[in-house]
Amino acid sequence: MATVDNPSNAVEWVLAEMLNQPILMQKAIEELNIVVGINRWVQESDLPRLNYVKACIKEAFRLHPFVPFNLPHVSVSDTIVGEKYFIPKGSIVLLSRLGLGRNSRVWEDPLKFKPERHLKMEDGGEVILTDSNLRLLSFSTGRRGCPAVKLGSTITTMLLARLLQGFTSKFTMQ
């Protein structure tokens, strides 16, 4: 199910947010024009340098997750999560993707679509669509997390980038 639905849901939300804030679309198109150019389609080898496009996708994963909750799990032993939450053995654990992505203690303006929050300005590092700190769940996590995170990330980024390349001439700002 998530093979197609999670990437397409994220791309649909990115496009919806871009239509509400056209400057976001303009920034993504400018990045595509700089990294890829206007005479060829984006290739997989271009993806590491499309950080703004990926930041838009990560922001959609954060604000508009495909499903609101992860599947429930039962803890197999006593454990501590995040250095502050004790979970006894046998507890049913249910993670809220909506709650994580819209937590005002973690995210400034949590209901605002702001891709820039995911850009790594200090080191210019590549934007990765997962979050090891459990601030958002794009592809689930743990032993039962998505086995195709890399493939899903690639599909999602390629889909958005090629849609922006092929269908934005009427929507770009003047």
pLDDT along the chain (174 residues), means of 10: 72 96 96 94 95 94 87 90 88 88 92 92 66 64 62 88 82 47
Angle 22-35/2-20 helices, nearest 10 degrees?
110
Rounded Cα gap, residues 167 and 151, in angstroms = 24
pLDDT at site 171: 47
Q: What does the alpha-carbon distance between residue 77 and residue 74 come to, in Å, rounded to a whole number?
A: 9
Q: Pick from 44, 62, 46: which is nearest to 118 by CA?
A: 62
Residue 147: the pLDDT is 57
Confidence (pTM) = 0.82
pLDDT of residue 81: 82
The pLDDT of residue 153 is 82
Q: Residue 132 corresponds to which amino acid?
A: S
Q: State residue 54's pLDDT score.
A: 94
Q: Is the dihedral of CA 165, 168, 173, 174 positive or negative?
A: positive
pLDDT reported for residue 174: 46
Q: Is 146 annotated as a binding residue?
A: yes
Phi, psi of 80 (to 5 degrees): -120, 130
Q: What is the pLDDT of residue 144?
A: 57
